[in-house]
Structure 1
Amino acid sequence: MDAPGLSLTEHPRPSTVLDDSLADLLQAAATLESVMARAQAMRAEVIDRARQLAELTADAESAELQRADSPSARRQLAHRVLASEVACALRVPERSAERLIDESDKLVRHLSATHRALAEGSISYRHAQVIIDEARSLPDAALPGFESAVLPVAARLTAARLRPRARIERERCHPESIEQRVKAGETERNVSLEPAHDGMAWLSAFLPAARASAIYERLTTVALDVTRTASGSDDDSRTLSQLRADVFTDLLVDGVVDATGCGTGIRATVHVTVPVERLLGAAATNTSPAPTTSAPTTSAPATSAPATSVPITAAFIPQAELEGYGPLDDDTARELAARAPSFTRLLRHPESGAVLSVGRDRYAVPADLTAALRIRDRTCRFPGCGRSARRSDIDHTIDWQFGGTTSIDNLAHLCPAHHQLKHRSAWQVSQQGGGVLRWRSPSGSTYVTHPEGGPAPPRARESTDTS
């Protein structure tokens, strides 16, 4: 579907412009870049139309059901439903879908000049994102002046070089003082964790600039002190970047936090799945079924504060795993498990490795069934969601009040956001056996999610325990 004035047919296809000369190839790449920008401008229009339709639908449903939802509550639910639909349809995380919806709204309804420049192919979507980000705190009345100042610059600069120029123009156009905006910005501070490759991960913090700079300078100062102390020694060959990372780790893991009184010896909470043979340092050469265990462990308590618990699971599988991350090296797994004061046995099927059902005939999910579900699901079971099962709710797929049972084939983890979405919107879910869930979206699309921990075992014999 071509939006008004946004026909993709005006540009030649790649096959008609490709040639053996470098100049023609580069021209073809530039043409394709322009085509992609035009397509992204069209996508913004389509997504924003979907947003408007979702809000109208929510208003109509609320009136039909005679619900007393406030307009803001209806819009919020409509936005949540749309974000989940967009995420599933485009196979992107919901946060990415929410950002796409927000950017489309800003482009189509508030930054029309930027949207036109994108549709003409004179700027890329990355340039448009920079303009959107820098214009967020500007009132609508200041947006035309801001766009007229930054768009000519955007047409000739990279997106990275555009940002500082756009930031300067934003300050010139903004009617509010920077002090007021700093106070508002501080409410958005957060810390996030993103898994990376080869046993690594990114730990990022969004902080006020002055504090972030102070933290970085302190890390650098301590790292340089370590370098000077180790000068002339072959014992420490770490680079300055590595030293900053090690100082950062030492301060957070073992450092003192005076403001909270946490003291020293704080340990992160993790969940690891480890073959018992690997914990013992022996090769898994025994072909007979091995015992499988689940072990909650606690690091050694500090003198000034209780240590954080570190649950660890040992299982008859070929590779140790860190919950929320993935494969873990044996040495790290042994180091974590070495501090475990106890192991709790958790039976698994000797051939498939699936956890045996530990269901009870009651509403509350008992601890052993909770452990089995957590190992089976590992994450929230909504399509595309990767939130850890440890931070999710256990949901009865068929509600208890409608005859649903507390059994492994009627339970699944849903994070609080998707748990609410299941009950408050037209999303529907059904169990397909083996822990497989089939979801149907409000628009009629279907999605299937599989448990990351493997298929669910058959249901256990019903218990007569009524406690």
Structure 2
Amino acid sequence: MNAPEVALAEAQWPSTRFADSLVDLLQAAATLDRVIASAQSIRAEVIDRARQLAELSAVAESAELNRDDSPSARRQLAHRVLVCEVACALRLPERTAERLIDESDMLVTHLGATHRALAEGSISYRHAQVIIDEAHSLPDEARPHFEQTVLPAAERLTAARLRPRARAERERCHPESIEQRVEKSRAGRHVLLEPAHDGMAWLSAFLPAVRASAIYERITTVSEGIQRSEVGNDVARTLAQLRADVLTDLLVDGVVDATGCGTGVRATVHVTVPVERLLGAATSGEAHTLSTSAFVPPAELEGYGPLDDETARELAAGAPSFTRLLRHPESGAVLSVGRDRYSVPADLATALRIRDRTCRFPGCGRSAARSDIDHTVDWQFGGRTSIDNLAHLCPAHHQLKHRSEWQVSQQGGGVLRWRSPSGLTYVTDPEGGPAPP
């Protein structure tokens, strides 16, 4: 039997009998954690083998087709194809799949001691990730000593407590100065929007530490001033709430109320509000009663999802202009606005954007507003500029469609069927609902 099977055989599975002791249950949970860690070590081997196979296949394919691509370009394309394959097969976001491939490469190829500890179940995958993150920029010759130092701590500490210890050891082991590494890290700065529940979302920024600290101190100082002015109010805000409100006012309006801090431009958001939702603000105080018995889809914020009616009506009240969209009265589907020419007219582009909402590659969530409109069957091969031959693809997946063996076909109603280079198939549905027949 392999390691997971042995661990499973040794596990004392808890029964539903009340007589089971807490010790038995905790021991069973700990054994299962070791099983999971061992399985994750095997997964790393499988994923890394797939990486090696993809690179070899890319080299062989380029030779067969007599391509003059550089070795670097071939590796980049092979990596891109593999990331998409793994993301689709495991139903992971592509960034997560890319990280999994990178972590597997590090474990199997560069961090053998960490990989063995994971296989034995003496550390968890979270501990392994901490070691991988800190060892990533170390040269090969420094990694064995780094592992030897941090692995004993990983077997005793939580992953959160291991992080500062591993970071300190990395500083001691690293041959490059911290100034050189800071300069390289700045290139990775970015802002991330992650939808959350109940009309909320996370807005995160990965920034140089000094600037991030300065931003946090500024909004805290402004918030503390506002908090002092609100003392005695019936609805005084907490400092945490004020920080969020101050940050919002600075970024959206460029000014914090009553403080005069900063100037800027007003942000633009795209919201789709069915007219029935606006009319539903009916009369006699029945603010949430719609004027029709048919189902009416909720208002939607582009890149997020459904909005409550009150927020939608507030946004509509302040909108400088409206785009008129004709919808089917029952299904809500945008009616066809197709035209027979290569360039996509504005009204058809609007219909496609409402239908697709995101890039149509499996698992991709990039907004349609930041994606290209692609002819599924290329125009040069007889493809039509019509709603049943067009779909949004982000620039990366648009390029992948044309440069790799990924293939796509329209199945009707805006449904796309994708076939990966390995032969697996995936179907994506338009998030805005089916296109008209």
- Provide the TM-score with structure 1 as the length reference: 0.87
For 2:325 and 2:220, the matched residues in 1 are separated by: 46
- Please tell me the residue identity of whatever aligns with 1:170: R
Distance verdict in 2 for CA 1:245–1:226, change over 3 Å: same
Distance verdict in 2 for CA 1:129–1:333, change over 3 Å: same
For 1:102 and 1:169, the matched residues in 2 are separated by: 22
- Please tell me the residue identity of whatever aligns with 2:270: H
Give the 5 Å matches for 1:54-133: 54-133=54-133
- Please tell me the residue identity of whatever aligns with 1:247: V
- Please tell me the residue identity of whatever aligns with 2:323: T
Percent identical pairs in the alignment equals 79
For the Cα contact (< 8 Å) 1:274–1:317, is it kept in 2?
Answer: no
Give the 5 Å matches for 1:230-241: 230-231=230-231, 233-241=232-240
Distance verdict in 2 for CA 1:190–1:152, change over 3 Å: same
Tell whether 2:331 aligns with 1:352. Answer: yes
- Please tell me the residue identity of whatever aligns with 1:241: A
Distance verdict in 2 for CA 1:139–1:363, change over 3 Å: same
Cα shift at 1:286: 3.7
Give the 5 Å matches for 1:192-231: 192-231=192-231
Give the 5 Å matches for 1:436-451: 436-451=415-430
> Among residues 13, 24, 27, which one is paired with 1:17 in the alignment?
13
Please name the residue that 1:330 is paired with.
309
Cα shift at 1:230: 2.1
Please name the residue that 1:250 is paired with.
249
Please name the residue that 2:364 is paired with.
385
Give the 5 Å matches for 1:182-201: 182-201=182-201
Please name the residue that 1:321 is paired with.
300
Instruction: Provide the alpha-carbon RMSD of the alignment.
Output: 1.8
- Please tell me the residue identity of whatever aligns with 1:255: G
For 1:53 and 1:129, the matched residues in 2 are separated by: 24
Cα shift at 1:279: 2.5
Cα deviation code 1:74-117 (max 9, x no counterpart): 11100110000000110010110000000001111111111111
Unaligned runs of 5+ in 2: 257-261, 283-288
Cα shift at 1:275: 2.2
Cα shift at 1:235: 4.2
- Size of the alignment, in residue pairs? 421
For the Cα contact (< 8 Å) 1:54–1:78, is it kept in 2?
Answer: yes
Give the 5 Å matches for 1:124-203: 124-203=124-203
Tell whether 2:436 aligns with 1:454. Answer: no
What's the secondary structure of 2:38's corresponding residue? helix
For the Cα contact (< 8 Å) 2:11–2:31, is it kept in 1?
Answer: no
For the Cα contact (< 8 Å) 1:14–1:28, is it kept in 2?
Answer: no
What's the secondary structure of 1:191's corresponding residue? strand
- Please tell me the residue identity of whatever aligns with 1:366: P
Unaligned runs of 5+ in 1: 258-262, 289-315, 459-467
Please name the residue that 2:4 is paired with.
8
For 2:297 and 2:415, the matched residues in 1 are separated by: 23
Cα deviation code 1:210-257 (max 9, x no counterpart): 2111211222221111122222x2244211111111111111122269
For the Cα contact (< 8 Å) 1:437–1:450, is it kept in 2?
Answer: yes
For 2:310 and 2:380, the matched residues in 1 are separated by: 48
What's the secondary structure of 1:268's corresponding residue? coil
For the Cα contact (< 8 Å) 2:297–2:332, is it kept in 1?
Answer: no
- Please tell me the residue identity of whatever aligns with 2:357: R
- Please tell me the residue identity of whatever aligns with 2:252: V
Please name the residue that 1:284 is paired with.
290
For the Cα contact (< 8 Å) 2:328–2:334, is it kept in 1?
Answer: yes
Distance verdict in 2 for CA 1:342–1:168, change over 3 Å: closer
Cα shift at 1:13: 4.1
Moved over 6 A (4+): none
For 2:345 and 2:188, the matched residues in 1 are separated by: 38
For the Cα contact (< 8 Å) 1:14–1:32, is it kept in 2?
Answer: no
For 1:208 and 1:387, the matched residues in 2 are separated by: 25
